[in-house]
Amino acid sequence: RHPFPVNSLGHLEIGGIDTVTLAEKYGTPLYVYDVSIIRKNARDFVQAFDQLGVKSKVAYASKAFSSIAMLQVAKQENLCLDVISEGELFTALKADYPTERIHLHGNNKSVSELTMAIENNIGCIVVDNFRDIELLDRLTAEHGKDVHVLMRVTPGVESHTHEYIMTGNEDSKFGFNLQNGQAKEAFERILQVDRIHLDGLHCHIGSQIFETDGFKVAIDMLFQEIKKWKEQYNYVPEVLNLGGGFGIRYTKEDEPLPHRVYVEGMVEAVQQQVESLEIPMPEIWIEPGRSIVGNAGITLYSIGSIKNIPGIRTYVSVDGGMTDNIRPALYQAKYEAIIANKATEPTIETVSIAGKCCESGDMLIWDLPVPSVEANDILAVFSTGAYGYSMASHYNRLPNAAVVFVEDGVDKLVVRRETYEDILKNDLSYL
Ligand code: LLP
């Protein structure tokens, strides 16, 4: 069910380390990442392009999990980096990320974000709207610097897990619409600004996608536009960024494709288009977030109170919840988990895992089969590496959990647990 081994004590291991030992050493709740899985996920994407002989850039979408240590690993793996805010960019700069490998996104970039990007010579800015163009026109002139951009377009395709839908009306806050002429208008505006170099197009059709059809339809839509730009302006894109969204396995209901298959599907579709248009193959860029870190991370919790309502349900409460993983409450996301210190014991009952926040919706897992559970057991929830820590909150003034990286039998604290003083550090007295 999960990729992690169990040791002779019957305890779950990750990266060669006993999870029960990790919980004792660092406390709970605790995010633990097996760095070797992060590296493998990254390499699978990079190698897939290399094997096809296609020039590419794989950018890690740092919104999925951004921290200095994570960005150091992404840098070691030669990934580019997708940031969408000044905070994510600041983290990248603090991690000494090579700035030419950073790409800035966002549907509402501030002057200070764009200034920071320009001053630090970041590799690419994804232009999302007309205000971006006007601000870049002004700021590049003020700084005497050029910028390389991609133009984000909304192809009217949305991918929903196992199916894609043509939304037609392109109702999205992101990017320029293709069908109503806004993309062409933006294209023509960008061409007027000498300091803005339009390297190509960007689109992102959704998240947790399990097939390649949606990407293929989006590519088709992009090329309908490119054809017009080629005919009218002799413009040929050097880059096509097809976004992220490659699915991962949370539960047995999820059947993601191997990374290689997503890449092959996209490359094949682009190759067909460039052949019929008789233009050179562009570089293909992608921006995976979840599929780099999601299945590399688990969360360890300590079990506390257990409430049995005879004939109805048993609530097993843990010392974290929606503050460290908002996804079940926000998206009804499903997870698998085991009792880490009883990993070989047969399951004998079904319980529901509750968080400790003062909110009935703070449930992590409904109906989980478990062996006999008791207070102080350690619960390990799988596939929590993406959008857990990065969407954490301080609800009920719970401190953010610590993050530990393990690799080849070595564990290292990479984000320390917040203290109550940390939570209060910006509070000022009124009296
Ligand atoms: N590129 C763009 C432009 C994006 O908007 C996103 C995600 C990505 C790349 C990375 O997508 P990924 O490969 O991680 O699916 N909080 C939600 C996911 C929001 C995704 C937003 N954009 C969740 O927890 O499921």
Q: Give residue-wise pLDDT tens across range 141-199.
A: 999 999 999 999 998 887 777 777 765 556 889 999 998 899 999 999 999 999 999 99
Residue 410 vs residues 16, 199, 292, 340, 404: alpha-carbon distances, Å = 8, 42, 21, 19, 10
CATH of domain 13-34+294-424: 2.40.37.10
Over the stretch 74-93, which tens digit does the pLDDT of each residue have?
999 999 999 999 999 999 99
In ligand 1, the atom with minimum distance to the C-alpha of 105 is 3
Per-residue pLDDT, 167:
56
| Separation of CA 83 and ligand 1 centre (Å) | 11
Query: In the predicted model, what is the mean pLDDT of residues 280-308?
Result: 98
| Separation of CA 305 and ligand 1 centre (Å) | 35
| Separation of CA 63 and ligand 1 centre (Å) | 7
Query: In the predicted model, what is the mean pLDDT of residues 238-255?
Result: 97
Residue 203 catalytic? Answer: no
Per-residue pLDDT, 2:
76
ipTM: 0.99
- C-alpha span between 276 and 56 (Å, rounded): 21
289 C-beta closer than 6 A to ligand 1: yes
325 C-beta closer than 6 A to ligand 1: no
Q: Is 288 annotated as a binding residue?
A: yes
**Residue at token pair 């190759």:** 271
Band of residue 370 on the pLDDT scale cut at 50, 70, 90: very high
| Separation of CA 368 and ligand 1 centre (Å) | 27
Per-residue pLDDT, 160:
75
59 C-beta closer than 6 A to ligand 1: no
Q: Which residues contact 96 (CB under 8 A, 6 or more apart)?
A: 75
Give the dihedral sign, CA 239/106/138/123.
negative
Query: In the predicted model, what is the mean pLDDT of residues 199-226?
Result: 95
159 C-beta closer than 6 A to ligand 1: no
- C-alpha span between 138 and 124 (Å, rounded): 17
Q: Is 315 annotated as a binding residue?
A: no
In ligand 1, the atom with minimum distance to the C-alpha of 289 is 14
- Choose the residue to mutate in 287, 334, 384 for probing ligand 1, maximizing ligand atoms within 8 Å of C-beta: 287
In ligand 1, the atom with minimum distance to the C-alpha of 327 is 24
In ligand 1, the atom with minimum distance to the C-alpha of 326 is 24
- Domains in the chain: boundaries: 13-34+294-424, 35-291
Burial of 430 (0-12, 13-18, 19+ CB in 10 A): exposed
- C-alpha span between 91 and 144 (Å, rounded): 25
H-helix or E-strand spanning residue 230: helix 213-233
CATH of domain 35-291: 3.20.20.10
Q: Which residues contact 357 (CB under 8 A, 6 or more apart)?
A: 321, 322, 323, 395, 396, 398
Over the stretch 381-396, which tens digit does the pLDDT of each residue have?
999 999 999 999 999 9
